[in-house]
Amino acid sequence: MKLTFLTDNYTDSRNLLAEHGFSCLINFMGYNFLFDTGQTISMRHNADILGKSLETLDAVFLSHGHYDHTGGLKYISDKKNKPDVYCSNKITDDHGKKNSDNEYKYTGIENQILKGKNLNFSYIDNSINLTPEIIFTHINRYDDFDSDKNLYIKDGEKYL
C-alpha cells in the first residue's frame, strides 16, 4: 500500500500548497483511491506537482461532510473519469459552527456538488466490499461524549 498525502495543513515544499483540510491518494493492489479531497484545487495542484494522476481513480471516499474534506470534489467532477464517491448518508446533514459573534456558519459540503450530475454518490450506512480484499466501513460519528460545542448539525429548525 502506498499513501500520498495531497492536502494537509502544512508542507515543507515551496511548490506544494497547504490548506486547512485533508486529502490522501491510496494505491493498493492496483487500485487508486482518493480519501477526502481537501477544500480547494490544492489537491489537484499537488497531485500534478507530485506526478500523481487523478484520471485513473477507482473511487473516492469521504470521511465526513465538512467543506475542508469535500470541497475538492468539484475538481474531480470535471475529469473524464468520474469515479464513484462513497460516503455516509449523513454527509448531507447541515454541518456548521458558531463564529466569534455567536452566529452559525455553514461548514458542510457545497450544494452544487451534491446536486450536480457529474458524480455518482453511493451513500452507505454499513460495510461494503469493493473487492474481495477491500472493505469500506461506515462508522457512526455522532457520540454524546465527543463533541465540539462550536460545531452543530441542524435538525429541522433546531441546532444540535
Summarize pLDDT for 11-44 with one digit per residue, the tens: 999 999 999 999 999 999 999 999 999 999 999 9
Q: Let me know if residue 97 belongs to a domain.
A: no
Q: Let me know if residue 160 belongs to a domain.
A: no
Which residue type is seen at 57? L
* CATH value at residue 52: 3.60.15.10
Q: Let me know if residue 152 belongs to a domain.
A: no
Q: Let me know if residue 54 belongs to a domain.
A: yes
Entry pTM: 0.80
Can you tell me the distance from the alpha carbon of 144 to that of 123, in angstroms, rounded to the nearest whole number?
A: 24
- 96 Cβ neighbours under 8 A, 6+ residues apart: 104, 105, 106, 107, 108, 151, 152, 153, 154, 159
Q: Let me know if residue 48 belongs to a domain.
A: yes
Q: Express each pLDDT in 130-145 by its tens digit.
A: 888 888 887 776 555 4
Q: Let me know if residue 47 belongs to a domain.
A: yes
Give the per-residue pLDDT at 25.
97
Burial class (CB in 10 A: 0-12, 13-18, 19+), 107: middle
Q: What's the number of domains the chain is made of?
A: 1
Q: What is the maximum alpha-carbon separation in the chain?
A: 50
Confidence band of 89 (pLDDT split at 50, 70, 90): confident
Classify the C-alpha dihedral 85-122-132-69 as positive or negative: positive
- Output the average pLDDT for the chain: 83
Share of residues in the chain with pLDDT > 70 (%): 86
Dihedral (C-alpha) 38, 42, 43, 45: value to the nearest 10 degrees? 170
Q: H helices of the chain, where?
A: 42-49, 67-70, 111-115
31: domain range? 2-92+107-142
Both ends of the chain: CA-CA distance in Å? 39
- Do residues 113 and 74 touch, judged by C-beta distance below 8 A? yes
Q: Express each pLDDT in 63-73 by its tens digit.
A: 888 888 988 88
Confidence band of 88 (pLDDT split at 50, 70, 90): confident
Give the per-residue pLDDT at 111.
74
